[in-house]
A and B are shown apart, each in its own frame.
Chain A
Amino acid sequence: MNKTQLPAPSSNGFLNNPQNRAIIYQVCALLFVLFLAYYFTNNMFDNVEKRGITTGFSFLDDVAGFGISQTLIDYDDGGSTYYDVFIVGLLNTLLVSVIGVFVASVLGLLIGIGRLSQNFLVSKLSLVYIETFRNIPILLQILFWYNVVLAALPSPRQSFTYFDSFFLNNRGLLTPEPIFESGSGFILIAFILAVAGVFFLARWAKKRHDLIGEEFPLFKVSIAILIAAPLLVYFISGQPVSAEYPVLKGFNFKGGLAIIPELLALIFALSIYTATYIAEAVRAGIEAVPSGQKEAAKALGLKDHVILRKVVLPQALRVIIPPVINQYLNLVKNSSLATAIGYPEVVTLFSGTTLNQVGQAIEIILMTMAVYLTISIVISLVLNWVNAKMEIKGR
């Protein structure tokens, strides 16, 4: 035993301990980020001071003084503040998002099912649709709809007319506007009550099904309740809802509900583009259900529509819903491209016009980003909730 014990040279050194190293790395990273933040804010305050830009959010109370082509709340060119502009923009973003999500879902579902059709022609047409529109930039599609298709529409006097109440021209689409007179609140109440009724009916039907195994025609009954209840109240309360039709007066239309061409172009482009992704998600989801499941259901003697509703869809939806919700989020984010055609949403109004007038870039762009961050956090919370809800229940 004449071997001298080698001192474990550096293995006991402070730097060789992975935990110590991790702490050092992290402290370095943190210091680096803090330094950057310090450097940037320092420069920022210098620059802001030098250029005489005011800081803070007090500009929100100033009068904006510019007109907006589409406002969902009362807005007045002379008296409304930048805060109102922000709200108008936010609501317009939400409006185009909600309509876009709805249209894209319907279109995407149809195309996705068409893609799986046994019919050769339908399946190939769906494929062509998907491959065409998902490979064209969304901004290009928006500009094309706005600058080429909608710009080619005739002037108001020569508008395309449908059923004498819908008019399509280069100022947009005019539709009859519903006028709510006193008493129309009852219809809304009836509708809410009907929704609540359907909710409890569904719970009751499920309990009954669990107990005695009998199916209740829930879907048909629910639809009937949802339509009948408001309709009944409408007639009982003396038909308080009427419609105001757009009328051609001189060179333009008066009355009615005008949908501006910017909104039309945006909805067309966004929903056609997003529908391609939704269609692919629907196809992938339905294909992900093993064919053995369908065969087993068939072997049990279930009918085709029951197989679809009780066997295929519940399993397919688990695969379909997460990517589709992500696409909804993408649609909301893509709606910011409206700024290229001047649709008055939050980026156009706030990061565009307001920024040009006020010049407080940091506050304004942070507020705009906050809008989208909030929307995406809400959407991912919904996604997590749905995922937890749909998770396969293990034992």
Chain B
Amino acid sequence: MATYSIKEAKAAPSSSKGIFFWLKENLFPDVKNSLLTLVGMYFVYLTIPPLLNWMIFDATWSGTQAEIVKEGARWIFIIEKFDQFMYGFYPEALHWRPNLVLFITFAFLASFKLVSNLKVKIAFMLLYPVVCFLLISGGWFGLETVETEKWGGLMLTLVVAAVGIIASFPLGIVLALGRQSDMPIVKTLCVGFIEFIRGVPLITILFMASVVLPLFFSDGIDFDKLLRALIGITLFQAAYIAEVVRGGLQAIPKGQYEAAKSLGLGYWQGMILIILPQALKISIPNLVGSFISLFKDTTLVLIIGLFDILAMVTLTNSDTSWLGYEIEGYVFVTLIYWVICFSMSQYSKAVERKFNTEH
């Protein structure tokens, strides 16, 4: 009887493994690709070393203006003006208040993972904006009032973005439900609003909010500049949120609507308990995408005269003892925006992967 033994698997031939194989396969498979690789390498050589030199190796990190000798970035400008980039004209002695708000925000986000009681969650949700607003603007509990004209820098950018996101969310959901509803008048009103807002650029809405809105109210009612911008941004964002949520609503199978009805749930009960939780869950990636655009769009408030972090670049450069530092300012602001937007987009991609269960 023949005996069979298991043969040892042979190692892959040296020509199909290792770094040289990888290089040959991915960078130099044929003449055309080799040329492309060389051009790409030359491009990297042209851009990356000078950029690194400018940003890190030749940069001035400390000292005074007089001591600048190197060619690279003069980060001492950012260090000197750091407070203005972060808080604008917010009084220096009160910087602990925005800092505390930031801390509360993290605690608030963390509490969502820790607390499971729905009522407590809702209470937190309602309390959080009030506490934050009172802390930043003051005027209560013996806190000194800080007028919105003094708000600025990254703090203002985050305030505008946060209010835009939080306030537009319920409005957007209502608009989406209205657009999906069977009632012709409600539907027409919602479609008209959404399509109008989506058809015009944000800057015209901001102009409208800052110039025309005060004309709409009788003289007693006075809006400050920031509130007007916030109203404009909220209306704008709500239209986009509505479209994202509508996408989610349309993706829910009809059976779910029918199931809600057959359980005897009314419209709102069915929506809140059955449809919206599913619809919102599948629209999370797109919602995050829309938040990213909103965050980028907050820069537009500088055109109507608010001092967000981008406006701080011009403003800090108008200091006569610090002239000509635009590049450092722009690069610094770019990095901040990039880090925030990039991490949000990575988060949205991670959520998308998590929900994507198809093979």
A residues with a Cβ closer than 8 A to B are: 22, 25-26, 29-30, 33, 39-40, 43-44, 46-48, 50, 117-122, 125, 131-132, 135-140, 143-144, 147-148, 333-334, 336-337, 339-340, 347, 351, 355, 361-362, 365, 368-369, 372-373, 376-377
Establish whether residues A140 and B199, one from each chain, have CB atoms under 8 Å apart when the complex forms: no
Establish whether residues A137 and B310, one from each chain, have CB atoms under 8 Å apart when the complex forms: yes
Establish whether residues B36 and A368, one from each chain, have CB atoms under 8 Å apart when the complex forms: no
Residue B26 CB within 8 A of the other chain: yes
Given contacts A120-B27, A122-B40, A140-B310, 19 further A-B contacts (CB under 8 A): A25-B183, A26-B184, A43-B217, A44-B215, A47-B214, A48-B215, A119-B27, A119-B29, A119-B36, A119-B40, A125-B43, A131-B345, A135-B337, A137-B297, A336-B204, A365-B211, A372-B201, A376-B199, A376-B200
Residue B290 CB within 8 A of the other chain: no
Contact for B37 among A30, A121, A131, CB less than 8 A: A121
Residue B256 CB within 8 A of the other chain: no
Which chain B residues lie closer than 8 Å to A139 at the CB level? 299-300, 302, 310
Q: Distance in Å from the Cβ of B23 to the closest Cβ of chain A?
A: 9
Residue B218 CB within 8 A of the other chain: yes
Which chain A residues lie closer than 8 Å to B40 at the CB level? 119, 121-122, 125
The 8 closest A-B pairs by CB, nearest first: A120-B26, A135-B341, A333-B201, A137-B296, A376-B199, A336-B201, A26-B185, A40-B216
Over the window 191-234 of chain B, the binary record of Cβ atoms lying under 8 Å from chain A Cβ atoms (1 yes, 0 no) is 00000101111111001100110111111000000000000000
Establish whether residues A43 and B215, one from each chain, have CB atoms under 8 Å apart when the complex forms: yes
Residue B342 CB within 8 A of the other chain: yes
Over the window 298-321 of chain B, the binary record of Cβ atoms lying under 8 Å from chain A Cβ atoms (1 yes, 0 no) is 011011000000100100000000
Of the candidate stretches B3-11, B82-90, B130-138, B325-333, the one touching chain A is: B325-333
Which chain B residues lie closer than 8 Å to A136 at the CB level? 296, 334, 337-338, 341
Closest to B221 in A: A43
**A340 and B302 alpha carbons, distance in the complex (Å):** 9
List the count of A-B residue pairs having beta carbons below 8 Å apart.
146
Which chain A residues lie closer than 8 Å to B342 at the CB level? 131, 135
Residue B109 CB within 8 A of the other chain: no
27 A-B pairs whose Cβ atoms sit less than 8 Å apart in the complex: A26-B184, A40-B216, A43-B216, A44-B216, A47-B218, A118-B33, A119-B27, A119-B37, A121-B36, A121-B44, A131-B342, A131-B345, A135-B341, A136-B296, A136-B341, A139-B302, A140-B299, A140-B333, A140-B337, A144-B330, A334-B201, A336-B201, A340-B302, A355-B207, A361-B212, A365-B204, A368-B207
Interface of B is mostly: helix
Contact for A122 among B37, B217, B338, CB less than 8 A: B37
**A271 and B40 alpha carbons, distance in the complex (Å):** 21
Establish whether residues A33 and B189, one from each chain, have CB atoms under 8 Å apart when the complex forms: yes
**A336 and B33 alpha carbons, distance in the complex (Å):** 41
**A204 and B69 alpha carbons, distance in the complex (Å):** 72
Closest to A144 in B: B330
Establish whether residues A26 and B207, one from each chain, have CB atoms under 8 Å apart when the complex forms: no
Establish whether residues B211 and A340, one from each chain, have CB atoms under 8 Å apart when the complex forms: no
Establish whether residues A368 and B204, one from each chain, have CB atoms under 8 Å apart when the complex forms: yes
Q: Distance in Å from the Cβ of B226 to the closest Cβ of chain A?
A: 18
Residue B186 CB within 8 A of the other chain: yes
Establish whether residues B330 and A147, one from each chain, have CB atoms under 8 Å apart when the complex forms: yes
Residue B92 CB within 8 A of the other chain: no
Establish whether residues A46 and B218, one from each chain, have CB atoms under 8 Å apart when the complex forms: yes
Q: Distance in Å from the Cβ of B222 to the closest Cβ of chain A?
A: 12
Closest to A273 in B: B296
Which chain A residues lie closer than 8 Å to B300 at the CB level? 139, 337
Which chain B residues lie closer than 8 Å to A140 at the CB level? 299, 310, 330, 333-334, 337
Contact for B215 among A33, A47, A118, A369, CB less than 8 A: A47
Establish whether residues A47 and B199, one from each chain, have CB atoms under 8 Å apart when the complex forms: no
Establish whether residues A337 and B211, one from each chain, have CB atoms under 8 Å apart when the complex forms: no
Q: Distance in Å from the Cβ of A372 to the closest Cβ of chain B?
A: 5
Establish whether residues A347 and B203, one from each chain, have CB atoms under 8 Å apart when the complex forms: yes
Which chain B residues lie closer than 8 Å to A337 at the CB level? 201, 203, 300, 303
Which chain B residues lie closer than 8 Å to A132 at the CB level? 338
Establish whether residues B310 and A377, one from each chain, have CB atoms under 8 Å apart when the complex forms: no
Establish whether residues B201 and A29, one from each chain, have CB atoms under 8 Å apart when the complex forms: no
Contact for A25 among B186, B203, B207, B296, CB less than 8 A: B186
Residue B182 CB within 8 A of the other chain: yes
Decide: A29 near B33, CB < 8 A? Known: A339-B203, A372-B199: no
Residue B41 CB within 8 A of the other chain: yes
Establish whether residues B327 and A148, one from each chain, have CB atoms under 8 Å apart when the complex forms: yes
Establish whether residues B36 and A365, one from each chain, have CB atoms under 8 Å apart when the complex forms: no
